[in-house]
Amino acid sequence: MRHFSYTRAETVSEAVAALASDPQAQILAGGTNLVDLMKYDVAKPGSIIDINKLPLKQIDELPNGGLRIGALVSNTTVAYDPRVQERYPLLSSAILAGASPQLRNAATTGGNLLQRTRCYYFYDPSTPCNKREPGSGCSAIGGINRIHAILGASEDCIATHPSDMCVALAALSAVVEVEGPQGKRDIPFADFHRLPGDRPESDNTLAQGEMVVAVRLEGNHFAGHHTYLKLRDRLSYAFALVSVAAAMEVSDGKIVELRVALGGVAHKPWRDMLAETEFAGQPAEEVTFRHIAQRLLAGAKGQGQNDFKIPLAEKVIVRALKQAASGRPQVQSVKAIQ
Ligand SMILES: Cc1cc2nc3c(=O)[nH]c(=O)nc-3n(C[C@H](O)[C@H](O)[C@H](O)COP(=O)(O)OP(=O)(O)OC[C@H]3O[C@@H](n4cnc5c(N)ncnc54)[C@H](O)[C@@H]3O)c2cc1C
Ligand code: SF4
């Protein structure tokens, strides 16, 4: 049996102080990922900081028409909040594409950002895994790698980030508010998760002792032209093989502004902002969408069992862009691709 201490934080500063005082400490939010990892003996926290009493459960209006979502707002509450549904339907849709109603009721906004990869070897302590045990090797390279990365992988890790919600947050250029021993700071969503490089044990850019307190949505809502399209092995209750959050502004049949983020293909939600800018002004039609897909996948590399993801991703990107352009987003309760 492994022993750990348990603290229920009453304030954010109390949680930050407890987190900063012990490098082995871990935050407990909904517990839907952390508790599983502890049962598998993958996570071995020396102390647990339960943050469920913190006042981080509100969705607040921002003066610019945006929304500030507290780190403890459940995935269900975000998905069904009328303001999110009206202003940021892409986010609502992506959340509803993930997990199950029971899990979404328990899972929190902060926990969703910080959930760990679903690489089979990461969950099996009897196998080498650089993310779980730095320097031990990567069993997925040359092993079972059907669900693994085709973009941004390294020779030390080819894992993917499993979140659906984060793919929409990436496309919407959300901002992550964090608080730590040095105070508060904002992290643009594109900089929050990292590629594995030679430090795959580190999923994100949080400093020691920092925690997520909120996620801010500002700027373009893309309520008119958006979609979240997710392909998976089962029609529901499965992680993405490839997913696409697509959003655009269209005028006179031309793309004015474009956002495309990919899930299930890299260690972080994958977005190429330069490519998005370059396609502004192009006709919003299939031939352009195919060029966008090819551009996004230019550096894609399979690992053997996951080679199928490259042509699959091209098809999903094109289909998602068609859905977004036509203003007919994928309805998550309809399992067939629309
Ligand atoms: C069977 C199953 C199917 C699933 N399917 C999907 C799916 O299809 N799509 C999808 O996107 N997700 C899916 N999930 C994952 C689920 O969405 C996550 O487990 C959930 O979002 C994690 O949130 P939580 O609040 O429970 O986090 P916890 O389990 O409490 O924490 C997860 C991690 O985040 C850290 N953490 C939590 N809050 C904070 C904070 N505020 N600041 C800093 N660190 C923090 C914890 O220390 C821990 O390391 C699935 C999960 C299961 C079990
Ligand atoms: S892909 Fe990453 S998480 Fe999976 S075994 Fe390799 S190092 Fe571990």
Question: What percent of the chain clears pLDDT 70, i.e. is strictly above it?
Answer: 100
Q: Determine the pLDDT at residue 236.
A: 82
149 pLDDT more than 90? yes
The CATH number given to 5-50 is 3.30.43.10
Ligand 2 atom 8: residue of nearest CA = 129
Using the atom order of ligand 2, give the atom closest to the CA of residue 129. 8
The rounded mean pLDDT for the chain is 97
Mutate-to-test residue for ligand 1 from 16, 27, 215, highest number of ligand atoms within 8 A of CB: 27
| Residue 219 banded pLDDT, cuts 50, 70, 90 | confident
Give the whole-angstrom CA distance, residue 153 versus residue 251.
37
Express each pLDDT in 272-282 by its tens digit. Answer: 999 999 999 99
Extents of the domains making up the chain? 5-50, 226-326
Using the atom order of ligand 1, give the atom closest to the CA of residue 164. 11
Measured from the CB, is residue 30 less than 6 Å from ligand 1?
yes
Do the domains 226-326 and 5-50 match in fold?
no
Q: Determine the pLDDT at residue 235.
A: 84
Distance 108 CA to ligand 1 centre (A): 7
Using the atom order of ligand 2, give the atom closest to the CA of residue 145. 1
Q: Which fold has domain 226-326?
A: Enolase-like; domain 1 (3.30.390)
- List C-alpha distances in Å: 99 to 216, 234, 237, 240, 318: 23, 12, 5, 10, 25
Express each pLDDT in 164-191 by its tens digit. Answer: 999 999 999 999 999 999 999 999 999 9
- List C-alpha distances in Å: 214 to 27, 71, 105: 15, 5, 18
Query: What b-and-e string marks burial along 1-21, b requiring 16 or more CB atoms within 10 Å of the CB?
Result: eeeeeebebeebebbbebbbe
pTM (global) more than 0.85: yes
